[in-house]
């Protein structure tokens, strides 16, 4: 007699194959400038953000350290305090005391270290806004995917602008530009803020400064990322991106009104 057939359990179901192109982290970083659509399609399947975040931090710190080394931390502090409307009523002795307190090496390095922390918070909050916008549009997007969109759309314009800023630090004398404004926004004038004055017309200066080439480059990448990752229409993607950009402009205007200086 032949042996009875033994029961064989069915094989476990296999995960569906990725529908988009698979790219390594190195490929996504090198291709985001030339093939951003392909990069975002890859990030839909394998969302990554950490390396892009770290690169953004490194380039931002490179400019900040170079700027303070060339201009001098004490000079930045002095001009910031002397031009602030909040210290206008202080006596010269009080201003000098504030300058001495904020010019210490510890405060200098705390200021430099605060940059990467700000970028991390900025990226995390931006990703949350993208996630909220996608959900309101009825699209299923994870927070990690939203963070990948924000990181890879913010990194190219940030890195390019920081490179140009570092070059300008060495080419221009600190006497030739507004040190307070440069410490906040850099030396690159890829916008229309040069048509106004940050102290005389802070609101107009802030509005004109918002019309920035690097910022618009980031908006184009962000809209493309939302369209590819969230699989939404171009109109929906641009609606989310434009809304967040307008909110950012309004926040900067509020700071400009409150501080009396262009942002």
Domains of the chain by residue range: 29-259
Closest to 60 (Cα-Cα) out of 213, 162, 167: 162
- For 73-98, the pLDDT digits (tens) are 888 888 777 777 677 677 777 778 88
pLDDT at 228: 92
The pLDDT mean for the chain works out to 83
The pLDDT > 90 percentage for the chain reads 35
- Residue 181's Cβ-count burial label (10 Å; 0-12, 13-18, 19+) is buried
Give the residue, 215 or 185, on which the prediction is more confident.
215
Q: Is the pLDDT of residue 13 over 60?
A: no
Distance CA 143, CA 47 (A): 10
pLDDT at 15: 39
| Segment 197-206 mean pLDDT | 75
Answer positive or negative: Cα dihedral of 250, 253, 259, 261. positive
| Segment 91-118 mean pLDDT | 82
- For 19-60, the pLDDT digits (tens) are 556 778 888 888 888 899 899 999 988 998 899 999 999 999
Distance CA 41, CA 119 (A): 25
The pLDDT > 70 percentage for the chain reads 87
- Find the distance separating the first CA and the last CA of the chain, reported in whole Å: 90
| Cβ 247 vs Cβ 132: under 8 Å | no
Q: Is the pLDDT of residue 61 over 60?
A: yes
pLDDT at 14: 47
């Amino acid at each position: 007699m032949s042996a009875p057939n033994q029961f064989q359990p069915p094989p476990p179901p296999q995960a569906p194959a990725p529908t988009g192109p698979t790219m390594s982290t190195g490929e996504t970083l090198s291709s985001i400038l030339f093939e951003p659509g392909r990069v975002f399609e890859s990030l839909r399947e394998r969302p990554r953000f950490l390396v892009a975040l770290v690169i953004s931090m490194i380039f931002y710190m490179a400019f900040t350290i170079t700027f303070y080394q060339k201009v001098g931390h004490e000079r930045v502090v002095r001009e910031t305090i002397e031009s602030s409307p909040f210290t206008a009523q202080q006596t010269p002795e009080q201003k000098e005391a504030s300058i001495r307190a904020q010019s210490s090496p510890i405060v200098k390095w705390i200021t430099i270290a605060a940059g990467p922390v700000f970028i991390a918070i900025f990226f995390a909050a931006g990703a949350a806004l993208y996630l909220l916008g996608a959900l309101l549009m009825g699209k299923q997007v994870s927070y990690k995917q939203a963070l990948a969109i924000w990181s890879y759309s913010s990194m190219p314009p940030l890195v390019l602008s920081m490179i140009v800023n570092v070059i300008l630090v060495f080419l221009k004398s600190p006497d030739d530009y507004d040190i307070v404004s440069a410490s906040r926004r850099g030396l690159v004038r890829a916008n229309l803020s040069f048509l106004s004055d940050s102290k005389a017309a802070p609101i107009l200066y802030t509005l004109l400064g918002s019309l920035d080439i690097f910022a618009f480059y980031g908006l184009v990448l962000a809209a493309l990322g939302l369209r590819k990752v969230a699989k939404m229409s171009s109109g929906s993607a641009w609606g989310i991106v434009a809304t967040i950009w307008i909110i950012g402009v309004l926040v900067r205007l509020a700071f400009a009104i409150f501080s009396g200086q262009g942002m």
